[in-house]
Amino acid sequence: MELQFFKYQGTGNDFVIIDNRQGRFPKNDTQLVAHLCDRRFGVGADGLILLENDPSTDFKMVYFNADGAEGSMCGNGGRCLVAFAHFLGVIGNETTFNAVDGLHHATIDGDMVKLKMVDVAEVREKPNYSFLDTGSPHHVQLVEDLEHFNVPKEGAKLRYGIYGKPGSNINFVEQSTDDTFQVRTYERGVENETLSCGTGVTAVAIAMHQSGKTESKVVKVKTPGGNLTISFEQQDDAYTNVFLQGPAIQVFKGVISC
């Protein structure tokens, strides 16, 4: 089988994206998904995304982790899929689409995509970290000297040690200014550090506001792959109108034999 694919990246978080509006992609073939995401034997990506038809919105997003399993929401992946849908002419500069965690609204202006994330009703604050769900589960922990921190080792330790087989993404954070944070993320499903994580930086922004590290409701996050901006409103203990904004860029397209 020959398969046409597109490669997109959002601040270094990269994805194989496939137009599956005809429903031909074998979604139950986890080995195929893992093969396509393999950086030595396939295309190489942090995840694979299918664009599908949806009866009530512009399109549906189906996301797979690099290990081949269907995953929870991916913020950077959602932004890249919006850019892909715009490239195909499926949408204009504004869209509403369906994903595993519900409906998302987004706008696109050139390479910049602004994606509305789910509301966050609860931030669990522990002595050394916070835990919250921004469409995917996230552990947020402040550390010192983030540049030299062993993210793969320490991330795996927490991912399995605290959260077991279901797992959680692990975000290590260092504050730069009143409203700016540096973040490195260990992602479950990839089981390694990625250059950026959209739901992760969203979780960091909200957790840092909830813990009083910042009073700003527009938070800038620097990841190894680039910069993202998160904005939100707070109503009592809930966070609403949460938006993730940053670049989403097509890298290349091709055909692979599977």
CATH number for the domain that contains residue 109: 3.10.310.10
Residue for token pair 């991916």: 74
Do residues 216 and 139 both lie within one domain? Answer: yes
| Six-digit token string for 234 | 């707070």
Q: Among this protein's residues, is 37 annotated catalytic?
A: no
Q: Is 11 left (phi over 0), alpha (psi -120 to 50) or beta?
A: left
The H or E element containing residue 60 is: strand 60-65
Catalytic position from the list 37, 74, 80, 258: 74
In terms of pTM, does the model score above 0.95? yes
Q: How many residues does the chain have?
A: 258
Q: What's the domain range around 219?
A: 124-244
Q: Which of 100, 2, 111, 119 is nearest to 50 (CA)?
A: 100
**First CA to last CA distance, the chain:** 5
Catalytic position from the list 37, 80, 197, 258: 197
Q: Which of 41, 90, 81, 39 is nearest to 63 (CA)?
A: 81
Q: Among this protein's residues, is 197 annotated catalytic?
A: yes
Residue 258: the pLDDT is 84
Q: Is the pLDDT of residue 25 over 90?
A: yes
How many structural domains compose the chain?
A: 2
Dist CA 184 CA 195 (whole Å): 7
For residue range 140-195, list pLDDT tens digits in order. Answer: 999 999 999 999 999 999 999 999 988 999 999 999 999 999 999 999 999 999 99
Q: Model confidence at 237, in pLDDT bands (50, 70, 90)?
A: confident
Q: Is the pLDDT of residue 236 over 90?
A: no
When pLDDT is averaged across residues 200-223 and rounded to a whole number, the result is 98
Return binding residues for substrate.
13, 65, 75-76, 169, 187-188, 198-199
Residue 109: the pLDDT is 98
Do residues 112 and 143 both lie within one domain? Answer: no
Do residues 99 and 173 both lie within one domain? Answer: no
